[in-house]
């Protein structure tokens, strides 16, 4: 490739030019190479890549030279290939003076890359982490969308602007990174023609009048922008995660595998296989892409990716991720699936044994095991007990996406969880009622779970004795056959309160003493009699009935109190 050189020092005409460069190109290049020093005369280097009218590019390094300045430029007339132009930052190939030995010859390539400090770049990335995803999204837009806002980078050090540009060009598809125009320094950002524009903090004030034409990044002072949203922004968030994890080599690798520009799936797949933590949307994209391009990854990477996807952690696994993961696992050969299943079983047992373990990871492991056809039948009862207890004690926290998916997709698990919940509901009906009131958890029409059915219905409004009758009908089983449903219904209707004596007498009359005896609700009836106000005319009659029906069950002190209440005239408090 023949790359003409240009030297310009601000005087009339160019100081030295490779023979053959047209006058039209020189006229267009001259204003692009102009240099205005910062206030106070401090030296500040500018590296720029500008697009010319004919589609060619001009790469230039400009810096102060004594009282004046010197610009050394290289014209890039051909296709965008080779090293990224921004790598010429700090290159020893730039001339600081016009050569004295006549017109410079054409170069075969752009000046050799300058020194690259990995530690300094890692420190830079860490300091600007909250800005990266939005920055990459803006870079994508400015590279692809005509009229997109230009990106202005406010930094006191030109090397930091160059690092921003390196990040931008490095994450883009190679040809687009080659053509992304930039300048690391200008005093006039509003009129700069490049797509990425570096400016000193003291000159950033003029950007207030830039309107929507510019997106300003001032990481030293300004607040971090909101992370970008939408399908196209997922690539940007994934790219930011890869850089923050210290894996920039993934951007070169992703160019060698199938995928559309700015498609998150290929990059996310490589990142997950390399141990980079990503959110559920990126994991879903990785799984969906890998399910259709399994041959694009070697066996080690494919196994690593699948292993990450079957071990949910961090952000809860959404429905899209679960479905895509299932498709990926189904696409694996039997040997790969068997190896993953063998690795998963110890983690599943550990999750079951962890008393502090959250329900979501456990549910996710069960889903993954099912997708791998692993035999988990022996572990399901313990898992059901753990999930049922979590649903009862923390319904809103436990009934998340993964638990919902596990209950929907694993019928054997659902049956065991519901059976356990029905037993727990008999012990704490209000807690079970809260599960239905605060979440979308619902029972199927054919699921015969009397205590849960009453809790799902909740306390009907109106007369409490009538409400209890409605709940008992909802249970679908007679209290004569299953007396504990009476206790559950009573606790739901009165919820810790004591029935009035008139209500207690109706309960006793309509249900019968034997059922109350077996359900243990006779104690609540006794409290109704002993705690009723003195003027209640029903209390003495209730006390007498209780003595007649439950003489053997009543403790001596309670029996004496009921006798006193039965003997006391209405309106008179027993002694």
Mean pLDDT to the nearest integer, 82-106: 93
**Which residues 6+ apart lie within 8 Å of 557 measured at CB?**
none
**What does pLDDT average to over the chain?**
90
CA distance 230 to 281: 10
pLDDT of residue 210: 55
Residue at token pair 């040997």: 335
Over residues 441-455, the mean pLDDT reads 89
Q: What is the pLDDT of residues 252-270, one digit of tens each?
A: 999 999 999 999 999 999 9
- Terminal-residue alpha carbon distance, the chain: 113
Q: Which residue has the tokens 């922004």?
A: 233
Quick one: what percent of the chain has pLDDT higher than 90?
57
CB-CB contact of 529 with 574 (8 Å) = no
> Which pLDDT score is estimated for 189?
92
pLDDT tens string 153-187: 999 999 999 999 999 999 999 889 999 999 999 99
How far is residue 157's CA from residue 337's CA, in Å, rounded to a whole number?
52
- Assess contact for 527 and 558: CB atoms under 8 A: no
The pLDDT tens digits of the residues spanning 510-534 come to 888 899 999 888 888 888 888 888 8
Predicted local distance difference test score (pLDDT) of residue 211 = 58
**Do the beta carbons of residue 25 and residue 37 sit within 8 Å?**
no
For residue 570, the model assigns a pLDDT of 60
pLDDT band at 41 (very low <50, low <70, confident <90, very high): low
- What is the per-residue pLDDT across 366-385, written as a single tens digit (0 to 9) for each? 988 888 888 888 889 999 99
pLDDT value, residue 368:
87
CA-wise closest residue to 424 among 473, 471, 390, 457:
390
For the chain, give percent helix, strand, coil, nearest 5: 55, 10, 35
Give the pLDDT band of residue 71 (cuts 50, 70, 90): very high
Q: What are phi and psi of 84, to 5 degrees?
A: -65, 135
- Three-state SS letters, 374-388: CCCHHHHHHHHHHHH
pLDDT band at 212 (very low <50, low <70, confident <90, very high): confident
Count, residues in the chain: 575
Q: Residues 411-439: pLDDT tens digits?
A: 999 999 999 999 999 999 999 999 999 99
Q: Is 553 exposed, middle or buried (0-12, 13-18, 19+ CB in 10 A)?
A: middle
Report the candidate in 143, 222, 223 with the shortest Cα–Cα distance to residue 182: 143
Q: Please indicate whether residue 54 or residue 81 has the higher confidence score (pLDDT).
A: 54
Query: In the predicted model, is pLDDT for residue 213 greater than 70?
Result: yes
Could you read off the pLDDT of 125-148 as tens digits, one per residue? 999 999 999 999 999 999 999 889
pLDDT tens column, 469-497: 999 998 888 889 889 999 999 999 988 88
CB 449 within 8 A of CB 422: yes
pLDDT at residue 573 tops 70: no
The predicted structure's pLDDT at residue 234: 96
Mean pLDDT of 291-300: 91
Strand ranges (E), 495-559:
none
Q: Give yes or no for a contact between 74 and 59, defined as CB atoms under 8 angstroms apart.
A: yes
Instruction: Give residue-wise pLDDT tens across range 185-197.
Output: 999 999 999 999 9
Q: Specify the pLDDT at position 437.
A: 93
Weakest mean pLDDT among 33-37, 273-277, 535-539: 535-539
Which of left, alpha, beta for 99 (phi over 0: left; psi -120 to 50: alpha)? beta
535 confidence band (pLDDT: 50, 70, 90) = confident
Assigned token pair, 65: 């030279």
Residue 74's nearest CA partner among 1, 10, 123, 157 is: 1
Tens-digit pLDDT profile for residues 10-23: 888 899 999 999 99
Is residue 464 scored above 60 in pLDDT? Answer: yes
| 538 close to 575: Cβ distance less than 8 angstroms | no
Residue 47, phi then psi, degrees to nearest 5: -110, 130
**pLDDT on residue 380:** 93
């Amino acid at each position: 490739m023949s790359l003409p050189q240009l030297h310009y020092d601000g005087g009339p005409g160019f100081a030295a030019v490779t023979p053959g460069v047209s006058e039209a190109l020189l006229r267009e290049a001259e204003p692009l190479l102009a240099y205005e020093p910062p206030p106070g005369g401090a030296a500040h280097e500018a590296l720029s890549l500008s697009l010319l009218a004919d589609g060619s590019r001009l790469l230039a390094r400009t810096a102060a030279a004594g009282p004046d300045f010197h610009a050394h430029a290289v014209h890039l007339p051909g296709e965008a290939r080779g090293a990224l132009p921004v790598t010429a930052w700090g290159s020893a190939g730039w001339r600081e003076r016009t050569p004295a030995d006549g017109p410079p010859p054409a170069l075969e390539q752009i000046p050799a890359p300058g020194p690259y400090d990995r530690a300094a770049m890692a420190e830079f990335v860490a300091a600007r982490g909250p800005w990266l995803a939005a920055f990459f999204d803006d870079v994508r837009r400015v590279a692809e969308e005509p009229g997109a806002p230009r990106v202005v980078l406010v930094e006191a050090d030109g090397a930091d602007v160059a690092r921003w540009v390196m990040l931008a060009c490095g994450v883009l598809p190679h040809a687009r990174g080659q053509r992304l125009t930039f300048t690391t320094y200008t005093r006039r950002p509003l009129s700069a023609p490049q797509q990425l524009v570096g400016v000193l903090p003291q000159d950033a004030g003029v950007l207030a009048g830039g309107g929507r034409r510019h997106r300003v990044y001032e990481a030293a002072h300004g607040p971090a922008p909101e992370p970008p949203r939408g399908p196209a922004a997922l690539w940007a968030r994934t790219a930011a995660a890869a850089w923050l994890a210290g894996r920039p080599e993934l951007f070169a690798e992703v160019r060698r595998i199938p995928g559309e520009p700015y498609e998150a799936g290929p990059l996310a797949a490589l990142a997950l296989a390399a141990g980079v933590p990503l959110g559920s949307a990126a994991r879903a994209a990785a799984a969906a892409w890998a399910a259709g391009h399994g041959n694009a990854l070697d066996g080690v990477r494919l196994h690593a990716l699948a292993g990450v996807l079957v071990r949910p952690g961090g952000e809860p696994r959404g429905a899209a991720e679960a479905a895509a993961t299932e498709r990926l696992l189904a696409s694996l050969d039997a040997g790969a699936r068997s190896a993953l299943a063998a690795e998963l079983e110890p983690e599943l047992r550990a999750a079951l044994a962890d008393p502090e373990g959250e329900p979501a990871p456990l549910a996710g492991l069960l889903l993954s095991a099912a997708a791998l056809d692993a035999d988990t039948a022996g572990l399901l009862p313990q898992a059901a007990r753990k999930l049922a207890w979590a649903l009862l004690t923390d319904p809103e926290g436990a009934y998340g996406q993964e638990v919902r998916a596990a209950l929907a997709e694993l019928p054997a698990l659902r049956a065991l969880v519901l059976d356990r919940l029905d037993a727990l509901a008999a012990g704490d009906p209000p807690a079970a009622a809260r599960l239905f009131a605060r979440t979308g958890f619902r029972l199927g029409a054919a699921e015969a779970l009397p205590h849960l059915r009453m809790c799902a219905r909740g306390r009907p409004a109106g007369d409490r004795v009538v409400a209890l009758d409605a709940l008992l009908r909802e249970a679908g089983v007679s209290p004569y056959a299953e007396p504990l449903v009476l206790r559950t219904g009573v606790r739901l209707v009165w919820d810790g309160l004591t029935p009035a004596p008139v209500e207690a007498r109706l309960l006793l009359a309509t249900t019968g003493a034997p059922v109350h005896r077996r359900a243990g609700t006779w104690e609540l009836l006794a409290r109704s009699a002993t705690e009723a106000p003195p003027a209640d005319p029903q209390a003495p009659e209730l006390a007498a009935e209780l003595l007649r029906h439950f003489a053997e069950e009543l403790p001596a002190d309670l029996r004496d109190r009921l006798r006193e209440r039965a003997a006391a005239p209405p309106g008179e408090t027993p002694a």
